A and B are shown apart, each in its own frame.
Chain A
Amino acid sequence: ETGVTQSPTHLIKTRGQQVTLRCSSQSGHNTVSWYQQALGQGPQFIFQYYREEENGRGNFPPRFSGLQFPNYSSELNVNALELDDSALYLCASSRGGGIRYEQYFGPGTRLTVT
């Protein structure tokens, strides 16, 4: 196994609510990236955090925000949930501020918005 963990495994929220997803990176990794994977689709890059700073962002609105902590774990926050936010959210960690190298993925958090 890769060592990247995510919590919770599954989550059900109501439209308009807010949600926080958590990710613990693999030991020695200082970069965390978040992806949204809708059913039957490829993952879409949300953003990347390197040394507690956002270091790249995909085409997602500001209601998707994140944090990275001194131990390099990370949170993804989504405000004002919409039905289309229902997806598998993947976290991946890597070394050295670059996702040009190997990323290690977590098992994901399945978010359902009703």
Chain B
Amino acid sequence: AQTVTQSQPEMSVQEAETVTLSCTYDTSESDYYLFWYKQPPSRQMILVIRQEAYKQQNATENRFSVNFQKAAKSFSLKISDSQLGDAAMYFCAYCSNTGNQFYFGTGTSLTVIP
């Protein structure tokens, strides 16, 4: 079975600074999809960024970007110019190529310090 590991239970960053959240995964598939989801306190989970494994180019969404290292099975999230609203639990997730299996990591709680 695929596994997703987030080794940083908690992270903190100064407002306006940059922070990187780590994620590794294990799979025998060659094609798959990776995601970062954000879950603010008492609010609904929302998609931050998505990466297809067959694309070599790293995905970028405004202040959010990923460093996808397929051979190392690593998928880190970089948040630039951190804002107070970025404070949340961040989950790394893996989806099989067939789209019928989905795995989340255990999450990283991000605190943004004013």
Contacts and interface: CB of A to CB of B under 8 A. Distances in A.
Interface in A1-49: 1-2, 4, 33, 35, 41-45, 48
B91 A42 contact: yes
Contacts of A59: 1
Given A99-B99, A105-B46, 8 more contacts: A42-B106, A43-B45, A45-B101, A56-B98, A58-B102, A100-B99, A106-B44, A108-B44
A55 interface: yes
A98 B102 contact: no
Contact of A58 (B47, B99, B101): B101
Interface residues of B, number: 24
What is the interface residue range for chain A against chain B? Answer: 20 to 34
19 contacts: A35-B102, A42-B6, A42-B93, A42-B104, A42-B105, A42-B106, A42-B107, A44-B104, A45-B101, A45-B102, A45-B104, A56-B101, A92-B45, A98-B99, A99-B95, A99-B102, A100-B95, A100-B97, A103-B47
A102 B99 contact: no
B100 A56 contact: yes
A2 B44 contact: yes
In the A-B complex, list the 7 residue pairs whose CB atoms are closest, starting with the nearest: A56-B100, A98-B99, A42-B104, A105-B45, A100-B99, A45-B102, A100-B33
Nearest to A59: B1
A114 to B, nearest CB: 23
